[in-house]
Amino acid sequence: MAVGIFDSGVGGLTVLDAVQERLPDVPFVYFGDHAHAPYGVRTDDDIYNLTTQAVERLWDAGCDLVILACNTASAAALRRMQESWIPKEKRVLGVFVPLIEALTERQWGDNSPPREVDVKHVALFATPATVRSRAFQRELAFRAIGVDVEAQACGGVVDAIEDGDLILADALVRSHVDALTRKMPKPDAAILGCTHYPLMAETFQDALGENVKVFSQANLVAESLADYLGRRPEMIGAGTESLFLTTGDPKRVSRNATQFLRKEITFTAAYP
């Protein structure tokens, strides 16, 4: 009865931590493609090919439902996967939907015309590939009007987090916030559009100021997944145990993951 969680690296562990707390009886199989991280600087075709390989490995582990806990993969690959690649008995879901539901305060199934929402000026912090895709702006436009989105490509942040260099990550976050606020001095809300970024949430909030509401995805995704499985319990797969899989060095990845989540996590090789 396992559910798969995929990310290019350790960032998706923020989502995994939240969904495990929300759904303690469900085994989760986490796949981190650390050998190819970061995805944010790759081409769309690269991202698509790497993402589909990872999802197939999670299917092999007994996960009929896979969450792309990676904004870059959700932005650059998910629509293409859903249109032509995913078998009808499987599901692959992204992380944009719960975020936009929270921002616009309307359910995804609400197909009424776009309308004005309380938030008018949104700062989007994301990887270069996610910014380039404009996927967030496209999905938001289906549901809301009158929202100004200023996107900032946060180069280097994921690399610093994956390397365990939080001092560098802190400095880079502050630099990117400064660059964005020069273009949008007073955002109402900020979107941490990469699942690595919640690991630096305090830095983002401090740099933006206390009056900016910062939306982070982990808890939103957890609630959305719990609701989905309540409606579609048949999508819980046949897997029976929780696993942590990586394409990188399991010892190094385990050490970094344990540092970030402050609890013991042991990764094994995704392809022994």
In the residue annotation, 70 being an active-site residue is answered as yes
> Under a CB-based contact definition with an 8 Å cutoff, are residues 125 and 203 in contact?
no
154 is catalytic: no
Q: Cα separation of 125 and 136, whole Å?
A: 11
Reduce the DSSP state of residue 111 to 3 states and report it: coil
Q: Which of 3, 93, 192, 194 is catalytic?
A: 194
> Using CA atoms, how far apart are residues 86 and 80, in angstroms rounded to an integer?
9
Distance from C-alpha of 117 to C-alpha of 114, rounded to nearest angstrom:
9
Pair of tokens at residue 5: 């969680």
Residue 140 to residue 127: CA distance in whole angstroms: 18
Angle separating helix axes 13-22 and 218-231, nearest 10 degrees: 50
Rounded CA-CA distance 234/64 in Å is 9
The residues, any chain, with a CB within 8 Å of residue 262's CB and separated by 6 or more, are none
- Are 195 and 82 contacting, i.e. CB atoms less than 8 angstroms apart? no
What is the sign of the dihedral through the CA atoms of 88, 89, 95 and 100?
A: positive
| Phi, psi angles (nearest 5°) of residue 196 | -75, -30
Q: Which candidate in 70, 103, 154, 207 is catalytic?
A: 70
Q: Which of 131, 138, 133 is nearest to 155 (CA)?
A: 131
Whose tokens are 């931590």? That residue is 17
Catalytic residues: 70, 194
